[in-house]
Structure 1
Amino acid sequence: MNVKKITVFCGAKTGKNENYEKAAYKLGADAAKKNLTVVYGGGATGLMGAVANGALSEDGRVTGVIPQFLVDREVAHPGVRDMRIVQSMHQRKLELEAEGDAIIMMPGGAGTLEEFFEVFTWGQLGLHEKPIGILNVDGYFDALKNVIYKSIEEGFLEERYLDMLFIHDNLNDILAGFETYIPVKVRTYEDLK
């Protein structure tokens, strides 16, 4: 799959482990070096700000998507020239998904997880055919992997949907997976019988 733009979901905080912020900055910088546009939530703080700063440090292209109420709170990144202002969090998610050719999730809280689960679900329903990377910095997403495998074991998630996910601790392995990605067969109501 030809990936030119990656949408990044990540926290508006840096978290307690300094490696999260380092990995976010590195992701942005490495994406820019690979001539990939970074599409993200538009914030200047936390891992979001670090991703943008990393890309900008290498003269990379960055697209921010942020709702007006967060702009009003002065959290929009001032260095991002392509800043798209939307009216709601729902519009933000729609645009973030639509803009990227692939999606990568980094550590974050409830909002980050909610964004991931929504696009993961949309992929299962055939609303997009994009691969999803999970950058598992210092094992942050190990518990999430367990939940996903448990949902397969208990019959709530079909194992084939694992093929949409590329869970690694470095960007290069995620991008390598994206290159060979073949979209997963869409779930139908027949599948649910």
Structure 2
Amino acid sequence: MKKCAVFCGSRAGNHPEYLASARKLGHAMAERNIDLVYGGASVGIMAAIADAVLERGGKVTGVLPKFLSDREIAHEKLTELYIVETMHERKRMIAELSDGFISLPGGIGTMEEYFEMLTMGALDQHKGKSGLLNVNDYYTPLIQFFDHMKDQGFIDPSSRKAMIVEEDPEAILDIIFSE
């Protein structure tokens, strides 16, 4: 069974496309028998993707730090929920449990998780591919910044090409889980 980590916001954002895309990705994952591994919360985009996977009969594993369980509110209907002590433990466990990584729109934590998985992949510290689901052009400024880093000589063209960006949930799953 393949497992995909999805990093995303504990808020819903200001555009309905964010929640709709999370639901579409969750449905596609369940239909392809790809289990979800995520932050374990029942709020924001995090809840939308977990609920979408579950409503189509998929499996969902949450990893939630104890200190966030009050703020992010643990999802009570998950297949598995791990309570850990720190954010570092959360990311480590999510990385260990997952075969691929997708980032939906989110805030600082989502960015930090994406960058860590992207860096770990570039250093051959995990086996999965990392991608951005660019919903409503959310990640376009970040993509432009990566091009700027390449143009300024801080990342090489192959590193920039490794940055997977798609607007369609089905397409990103095809790339992340291609052999």
**Do the structures match in fold with TM over 0.5?**
yes
Residue 43 of structure 2: which of 42, 45, 49 is its match? Answer: 45
Which of 132, 138, 141 is the equivalent residue of 1:140? 138
What secondary structure is seen at the aligned counterpart in 1 of 2:73?
Answer: coil
1-structure distance, mates of 2:31, 2:142? 30
- Equivalent position amino acid for 2:154 in 1: F
* Partner residue in 2 for 1:96: 94
Please list every run of 5 or more consecutive structure 1 residues that lacks an aligned counterpart in the other structure.
182-193
Give the structure with higher Rg (CA).
1
Q: Which amino acid aligns with 1:23?
A: S
Q: C-alpha offsets along residues 99-136 of structure 1, whole Å, 9 cap, x if unaligned? A: 11000000001000011111111112221232112111
Q: Which runs of 4+ in 1 moved over 6 A?
A: none
Listed as ranges, the matches of 1:144-163 within 5 Å are 144-163=142-161
C-alpha deviation, 1:74, in angstroms:
6.2
Amino acid at match of 2:39: G
Q: Percent identity?
A: 37
User: Aligned Cα RMSD in Å?
Assistant: 1.4
Q: Which amino acid aligns with 1:174?
A: I
The alignment status of 1:176 with 2:162, answered yes or no, reads no
Equivalent residue for 1:191? none
1:139-158 deviations in whole A, cap 9, x for unaligned? 11000100111111111111
> Once the 2 structures are TM-superposed, how far is the Cα of residue 180 of structure 1 from its aligned partner?
3.8
Aligned counterpart, 1:34: 32
Match of 1:189 in 2: none
Provide the residue aligned with 1:108 in structure 2.
106
**Cα distance in 2 between the residues matched to 1:115 and 1:12:** 13
Structure 2: gaps (5+ residues):
none
